[in-house]
Every structure is written in C-alpha cells, then in structure tokens.
C-alpha cells in the first residue's frame, strides 16, 4: 500500500540514525570502561550497557562476607579500586543476621534482642539509628520496625520462602572473583541462610578494578562482551 511504503521510506533514515547512535554508544562505553579500568565507571552507564547481565541466581552459601563499612563506598560508581575487599566481616557477625536469628531461631521477644537494646541506647543519646525509610528516634518507631519484621517472619514461617517475591540481594565482586554482600537484601540473605534455601536472586552492584584488569587480559579488549563472559563464569 502507498501509505505503508511512504511510512517505511520515512522511517528508514530514522532507523539508520538509531543504529549509528547504538554503535557509537557501544564504542564510547567500551573506550570508557578501558580508560576506567583502574577507578571509575558511573553506575548509570554500567546499567545502560549490561542491564540484566547483572542479575543471577546464586547459592547463598557462597555469600560469606559483608563489606564492613558500606557507607564509605562510592555507590554511584561500578568499578572500585583499593583495599575495600579486605575490610570485611562475616555474614553471621552482621547485626541483621543476629537479629533475624534471635527472632526466628532463638524465638526471643524483640525487646530482648541485641538490636533493640542498641536502637533504644542510640535514641536516648540523641543519635538514632536509621533503617530504610524509618528513623528509630522513638519507642513507637522502634516497635514499628520490629513489628514489621515479625510480620515478615510469620509469613515466611507460614508460606515458606518465595524466591519470586524476595528482594534482590546486592553483591560486589572482589579482586579474586569472589562475592561480597553489599547493601540490598540483608533480611532475605539472613533468612535464606537460616532456612537453607538453595538459590537467591543477586544483583552485581560493583566490581574490583583488579578483577576487571584480569578480564581484560584473559578475555580481550572488547570489554562489554568480555565482562558479560566474566560474569557468566562467576556463576557457573
């Protein structure tokens, strides 16, 4: 039909232009990653390039450590250099794991948990703990925080651990290609470990610059495809 032919002819230059933009974007990002291999790559640019390549299923037994000082990390960047992957604590040492274990396994009243005592102490000092969108600056807010977790634990106890509904767990890749938990999914990870769940959904939040350099040497200089291959190897 003449109208359809006309539309196709009009769209041809648009499609060609879009293809050129896509090619130049890939080349630019490839160059940017290469130049950033020792320090920087904005997380938004990384998400644009890799998107679902960051999301995998993982046995929670492979997650053994947290970054001890997550607030010091540059969350706006995807490539991190430095000694951050040596400054870690075990999952079992983290306050969230201890709290979930006390509530779910030890069956303590939440007012008898370590974290409740800490939250009350910090509130009385005028330096309240912040958790998510809740500031624990009053007894009411502290109780609300724990009641919320009691409800979640009760639901899991009744209905089991639903992988499809559980939040993604944030991970970072250290210099040796090992995973370290970072930020997202503290409670999900704790419950998965306590219940012996086989798989959880994780999202790669950042990688060590030394691991990236190893991928460049072993996979080649077309870095987007090299990193995708590197990610897949991590989850075999």
What confidence tens digit (pLDDT) does each residue in 100-120 have?
999 888 999 999 999 999 999
Query: What's the burial of 5, exposed, middle or buried (CB within 10 Å: 0-12/13-18/19+)?
Result: exposed
Q: Where are the beta strands (DSSP E) in 69-199?
A: 79-80, 88-90, 129-131, 134-136, 169-173, 179-181
pLDDT for residue 7: 46
DSSP letter for 137, please. -
What confidence tens digit (pLDDT) does each residue in 153-169 have?
778 777 777 777 778 89
pLDDT band at 126 (very low <50, low <70, confident <90, very high): very high
Separation of alpha carbons 158 and 186, rounded Å: 21
Q: Is the model's pLDDT at 152 over the cut of 60?
A: yes
How far apart, in Å, are the Cα atoms of 8 and each of 11, 18, 19, 21, 225?
5, 15, 16, 20, 33
Separation of alpha carbons 45 and 222, rounded Å: 16
- The structural domains of the chain, with segments of one domain joined by +, span 39-234
Q: Is the model's pLDDT at 137 over the cut of 90?
A: yes
pLDDT band at 54 (very low <50, low <70, confident <90, very high): confident
| pTM exceeds cut of 0.95 | no
Task: List for the chain the helix, strand, coil content (%; round to 5).
Answer: 60, 15, 25
- Residue 159 neighbours by CB under 8 Å, 6+ apart: none
pLDDT for residue 191: 87
Whole-number average pLDDT of the chain? 80
What is the length of the chain? 236
């Amino acid at each position: 039909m003449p109208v359809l032919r006309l539309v196709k002819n009009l769209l041809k230059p648009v499609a060609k232009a879009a293809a050129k933009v896509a090619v130049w974007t890939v080349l630019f990002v490839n160059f940017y990653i290469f130049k950033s291999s020792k320090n920087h790559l904005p997380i938004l640019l990384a998400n644009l390039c890799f998107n679902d390549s960051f999301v995998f299923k993982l046995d929670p037994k492979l997650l053994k450590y947290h970054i001890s000082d997550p607030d010091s990390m540059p969350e706006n960047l995807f490539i991190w250099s430095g000694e951050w992957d040596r400054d870690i604590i075990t999952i079992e040492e983290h306050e969230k794991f201890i709290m979930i274990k006390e509530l779910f396994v030890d069956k303590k009243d939440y007012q008898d948990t370590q974290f409740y005592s800490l939250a009350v102490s910090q509130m009385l000092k005028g330096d309240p703990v912040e958790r998510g969108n809740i500031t624990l600056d009053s007894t009411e807010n502290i109780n609300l925080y724990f009641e919320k977790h009691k409800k979640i634990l009760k639901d899991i106890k009744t209905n089991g651990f639903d992988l499809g509904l559980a939040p993604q767990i944030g991970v970072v890749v250290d210099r040796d290609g090992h995973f370290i938990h970072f930020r997202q999914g503290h409670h999900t990870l704790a419950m998965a470990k306590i219940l012996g769940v086989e798989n959880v959904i994780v999202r790669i939040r950042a990688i060590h610059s030394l691991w990236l350099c190893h991928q460049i040497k072993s996979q080649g200089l077309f870095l987007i495809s090299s990193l995708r291959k590197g990610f897949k190897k991590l989850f075999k």
